[in-house]
Amino acid sequence: MRLTTEEREAIKAAVRAQDPEAQVWLFGSRADDSKRGGDIDLLVFSQIMGWSEKGDVWWELQERLGEQKIDIVVAKDRSDPFVRMVMEKAVRL
C-alpha cells in the first residue's frame, strides 16, 4: 500500500466523521506496491452515506492531504459487480 500512516489516518477520520461505522478500502494502483503514481481510489461501505456526505469527505481530504486526485465509491454492500471486482485486490484501511 502506497499511503503514509498520516494519509491513512486522515482518510479514516474524514470518512468516520460522516459515518463512524463505515469501512474504508483502498483499491487501484495505490493499493499495489509494485505500481507507481496514481490517484487515491477509495471504496467506502456505509449504510448512511449519500452524495452529500461523499462530497464532504472529498473536500475534507483535499484540505488534509492537499490537492490530489481522489475517487470515492460508496456502497452499502458487495452486491454490485464493480464492488466485487474491486474487492479482489483492495486493502482495508
With beta carbons less than 8 A apart as the criterion, state whether 75 and 43 touch: yes
- In the structure, how many helices (H) and strands (E) does the chain have? 3, 4
Count up the domains in the chain and report the number. Answer: 1
Specify the pLDDT at position 71: 97
Range of the domain at 70: 5-92
CA-CA distance, 78 to 80, in Å (whole number)?
A: 6
Specify the pLDDT at position 56: 98
Residue 37 has pLDDT above 80, yes or no: no
Q: Which residue has the cell 481522489?
A: 70
Specify the pLDDT at position 22: 98
Q: What CATH number is attached to the domain comprising 31?
A: 3.30.460.10
